[in-house]
Structure 1
Amino acid sequence: MPLPRSLAPFRQRAYARFWAGAFVSNIGTWMETVAVGILVTTETGQASWAGLVSAAAFFPAATAGLVGGALADRIPRRRLLLTTVSAQMLLAGLLTALAAMDAAHPAVVTVIVFAAGCASALGFPTYQALLPDLVPREDVPAAMALGSAQWNLGRVVGPALAGVVIALGGYTWAFAVNALSFLAVIAAIAPLALPAPTPKVGESIRGSIASGFRYVRGDPGLRAVVGYLSLNSLLAAPFIALVPAVALKVFGDEDFGTSLLVTAQGVGAVVMALMLGGLSHRFGIRRVVLVGLSALPALLVAYALAPTIGFAAAAIFGVGAAYLACLSGFNTVAQLRAPTEMRGRVMSVNMLILGTLYPIGAIVQGRIADSVGLRATTTVAAALLALGVVGQRLLRPGSDRLMGPPETVELLSAADQPDAPASHDREDP
């Protein structure tokens, strides 16, 4: 029985192994994240330590990711990914040993988490850049969506398993499971045969990073992605960080409410991920992204104004689906528009935008919410998102049509101008 379009990437054994390995490792990472948060909060009695550790893990995404993107286009991607994953496994093993010796002091744990975050940030552009090498070009949207699905599934399964494992064996077991989970990724990466990168001779890392920015600036389709991704990261994405606050301050139910809203958002994202391949094949990734961008502000308003937590769960299910369609779509467009030799650097630019603007948006919206309330803050953010999307379309008319593979854009241009030959839509930097 043939697989549906959304699951078509699983026909490729290399992709199926890679997806499964990443899923196992993702579960382990979420288990460690939960265990670390509980450990430092318990040891210090201060919730601020949990925030500090979280920042230590996330901050490298906005800095080391650019270096990782440059390395992904210079060093064989299989070797680079094996190196960064092995480093993460060794750091998780160190954390396990410290916990077993009752020496996992919060400051030391924070340093280890930061180092692991750096290794992850160095490897993540490579992870994204190699996906198009594992599946046919027409299956790239589905492959990206399934990658997002496994991340969201891990976000639901990992914390649930963490509670069980910590109850049975303490923090040491949770850290050990994470260390072992990296073996699944290593086993999936080791047999891969990937094309060798072709770096520019004599180009420094700094020059390589700069050329990545120049490429994005010179490609009108990628510029459109950067604009929409920036709006999404600053105005929409912070809803994820504010879920616990909504559960407690709006509905007065922190524990069950947070679990319900996080699960609903995750399920919405997974459902969309399973549909995205088929939708992209039928309508094109450009239309899917534009529909997601149009629906997201309205869904955020519905979530912000929900009268009960049940209505909020239903609304955040839709928010999760629309947000996934946008984010996965942005990354898919970037994958398809970037040539192999630039793919790592192009993906690292997306990573920089999300890694910088998401925490800024979360901090700013959190501060504003303390003054005017969460409902008003989320509603205004949604309105600004809608205005930003409309503004970009007015300021750059036609840019939306460039959010797709170059060959698709050429066909659209030819359809609009039947007497003119199709031409590549790239501009000089």
Structure 2
Amino acid sequence: MATFQLSRLSSFRALSHRDFAYLWVGMLVSNIGTWMESVALGVYVTEVTGKAGWTGGVAALTHLPSLVLAPLGGALADRFDRRSFMAVCICVQVLIAALLTVLAATGNLTVPWVAALSLLNGAFSTLAIPCATALTVAVVPQEDLHNALSLDSAQFNLGRIIGPVIAALVLTKLGIAGALFINTLSFLAVLLALARMHGAVRTTPPKVEALWAGIVRGVKLAWTDPGIALALGTAGFVGLLISPFVGLVPVFALKVLGGDATTTSMLLTAQGTGAVLAAFGTGAIVARVGRRALLEGSMVLVGLCSAIFWLSPTLPVALGALFVLGAVYLVAFTGLKTVCQARTPPELQARVSSLFLLLVNMGYVLGVWGQGMLSDRLGVRPITAGAALLFFGIVVVTRALRPRGLATLEDVKAG
């Protein structure tokens, strides 16, 4: 496998692998565009409807297709050439983004159009994400896996930092159509990266089996391996009780703090900054305390940090709380994903990745929609902070009653 002649510092060593570096940069550019679109559409829906339920509902629609398509996407990614399969999904997303741009530029954009195209975009994103994870796992060696997945999270959150900042400027100068147009162009970076990847992307030949049988084989592994099962279940609860903050930040910014698109951008940037710093520092922390201890600690802290954010009385307090939440949230999800991938044979990695996506998004869809609707009736702070404290309570009780069960979270490679 070709490598760049880069420094082997623990926080960046996975980028010394050429194919991973290409994919990382391409995904970073695309995620900047995606977060520009997310901010633009979130502000648009909130301003047009004035309802947290609508904002949360539209955000949930992007993730709703994963409840059906995630296992299919994993099986297809393990069945076909992963680069080609991912390229097809990205091309369709380019067309969807272009249609949104045209609708906005011509004054024909409506909330139903946003909802329908968010649902369609979510379908193809669901098919592509397990493939991207499997590509990452395939092009880096086992000893660099945790670092590679941390850097994946770093680029996602760099997009969260840069995208909202650019979105705030573009929305002011060019309006929603400008932000959506830049997102359309950003997908081209992924296609270029895929074209430049020439290393081996599959360590073993695909097994010839029926599509449904392939899906069942992935589910069976996840069900029977105690570490994968625990990591997947925990990820689902994080998605249900903690992750909705991602989709409801515009609601908190506009309806609770009385801000605007710039306030939304500032909050998302704070969260992304915390996540990026955590991703770059995770390697050194793992070397000192170990992966399992870091994962367990993040599980305890993520609920508390989330509750503090939702209860923040002012914007400066909210920015500080979201900065810390971003860091802890990234560490938690990276640790859970690493456990799943490290314990999975290469030929099943996309399928297990798709199950991870399925459970996280299932939780997120129920959480962001439910918390948004309940917030309209009972208030944003009581519902969102209550969900965060519920997660904290579940973690504390689980640690007290089943301390030995957490030993299954060791990321030992499956034989």
Q: Give the shorter-chain TM-score range.
A: 0.7 to 0.9
Choose the corresponding residue for 1:72, options 73, 77, 96.
77
* Range that drifts further, 254-263 or 77-86: 254-263
What is the alpha-carbon distance in structure 1 between the residues aligned to residue 253 and residue 400 of structure 2?
37
CA separation of 1:332/1:241 partners in 2, compared to 1, >3 Å: closer, same or farther?
same
Measured in 1, the distance between the counterparts of 2:110 and 2:309 equals: 39
**Which residue of structure 1 aligns with residue 88 of structure 2?**
83
- Mapping of 1:74-113 within 5 angstroms? 74-97=79-102, 107-108=112-113, 110-113=115-118
User: Does structure 1 retain, via aligned residues, the 8 Å contact 2:57–2:372?
Assistant: no
**Is residue 152 of structure 2 the alignment partner of residue 143 of structure 1?**
no
**Alpha-carbon shift at residue 149 of structure 1 (Å):** 1.6
Name the counterpart of 1:357. 363
Cα gap change, 1:3 to 1:73, in 2 (>3 Å): same
8 Å contact kept, 2:56–2:369: no
Tell me which of 325, 335, 345 is aligned to 2:341.
Answer: 335
The one-letter code matched in structure 2 to 1:345 is R
Aligned to 2:3: none
Distance 1:301 1:113 in 2: 28
> Which residue matches 1:412?
none
Distance 1:218 1:305 in 2: 40
Distance 1:354 1:245 in 2: 21
Q: 2:372 and 2:40 mapped to 1: Cα distance?
A: 25
Cα distance per residue 1:289-320 (max 9 Å; x no partner): 11101222332343344454323322222111
From 6, 14, 17, the equivalent of 2:11 is 6
* Counterpart Cα distance in 2 of 1:29 and 1:180: 10
Give the partner amino acid of 1:117: G
Instruction: Give the deviation of 1:175 after TM superposition.
Output: 3.4
Counterpart Cα distance in 2 of 1:99 and 1:249: 24
Q: Distance in 2 between matches of 1:39 and 1:390?
A: 39
Structure 1 residue ranges without an equivalent (≥5): 408-423
1:266 is matched with 272
Q: Distance in 2 between matches of 1:387 and 1:135?
A: 37
Tell me, yes or no, if the aligned pair for 2:295 and 2:336 is still in contact at 8 Å. yes
Work out whether residues 270 and 321 of structure 1, in 8 Å CA contact, stay in contact via their aligned partners in 2: yes
Shift in Å, 1:170: 4.9
Which of residues 132, 137, 143 is equivalent to 1:132? Answer: 137
Give, in angstroms, the shift of residue 12 of structure 1: 1.5
Whole-angstrom distance in 2 between the partners of 1:230 and 1:79? 30
The farther-off stretch of 71-80 and 260-269 is 260-269
Residue 386 (structure 1) aligns with = 392
Deviation (angstroms), 1:68: 0.5
C-alpha deviations, 1:313-336, integer Å up to 9, x for none?
Answer: 222221111111101111111111
CA contact (8 A) 1:70 1:208 kept: yes
Which amino acid is the alignment partner of residue 79 of structure 2? Answer: R
The separation in 1 between residues aligned to 2:391 and 2:346, in whole angstroms, is: 32
Partner of 1:309: 315
Pair 177,210 (structure 1): closer, same or farther in 2 beyond 3 Å: same
Normalising by structure 1, report the TM-score.
0.84
Q: Which among 169, 188, 195 is matched to residue 202 of structure 2?
A: 195
Query: 1:190-237, CA deviations, whole angstroms, 9 ceiling, x for partnerless residues?
Result: 23231266444332x222222211110100111110232122222222
Alignment of 1:14-33 (within 5 A): 14-33=19-38
What secondary structure does 1:124 align onto?
helix
Percent identity, please: 37
CA contact under 8 A between 1:73 and 1:197: conserved in structure 2? no
Equivalent residues in 2 for 1:28-427, closer than 5 Å:
28-36=33-41, 45-47=48-50, 53-97=58-102, 107-108=112-113, 110-166=115-171, 168-192=173-197, 193=199, 194-195=201-202, 198-203=205-210, 205-248=211-254, 250-253=256-259, 257-370=263-376, 373-393=379-399, 396-406=402-412
The structure number with the bigger radius of gyration is 1
- Structure 1 residues 101 and 308, CA gap change in structure 2 (3 angstroms): closer
**Secondary structure, in 3 states, of the residue corresponding to 1:17?**
helix
Q: 1:85 to 1:371 in 2, by over 3 A?
A: closer
**Aligned equivalents of 1:52, 1:327: Cα separation in 2:** 23
Once the 2 structures are TM-superposed, how far is the Cα of residue 7 of structure 1 from its aligned partner?
1.1
**Structure 2 unmatched runs, 5+:** 1-5
1:312-361 C-alpha deviation (Å, 9 max, x unpaired): 32222211111111011111111111111111111111111111111212
CA contact (8 A) 1:74 1:198 kept: no
Give the superposition deviation at 1:374: 4.1
CA distance in 2, matches of 1:96, 1:253: 26
**Residues 23-65 of structure 1, C-alpha deviation per residue, up to 9 Å, x if partnerless?**
11111222333444566778xx435676554343232233222
CA drift of 1:106 comes to: 5.3
Deviations 1:366-412 (A, max 9, x none): 444455544444443333223312343455442222213325xxxxx
Match of 1:420 in 2: none
Higher mean alpha-carbon deviation, 333-342 vs 280-289, is at 280-289
CA distance in 2, matches of 1:30, 1:228: 26
Q: Given that residues 336 and 404 in structure 1 are in contact (C-alpha distance below 8 angstroms), is that contact kept between their aligned partners in structure 2? A: no
Q: Cα gap change, 1:330/1:309 in structure 2, threshold over 3 Å: closer, same or farther?
A: same
Q: Partner amino acid for 2:202?
A: P
Amino acid at match of 2:209: G
C-alpha root-mean-square deviation of aligned residues, in Å?
2.9
- Whole-Å Cα distance in 1 between the matches of residues 309 and 38 of structure 2? 27
SS at match of 1:73: helix
Tell me how far 1:265 sits from its aligned partner. Answer: 1.7
- Using CA pairs below 8 Å that are at least 6 residues apart, which structure has the higher relative contact order? 2
Contact 2:46/2:250, CA 8 A, preserved across alignment: no
Change (3 A) 1:284 1:50: same
Residue 251 of structure 1 and its aligned partner are, at CA, apart by 4.2
How many pairs align?
406
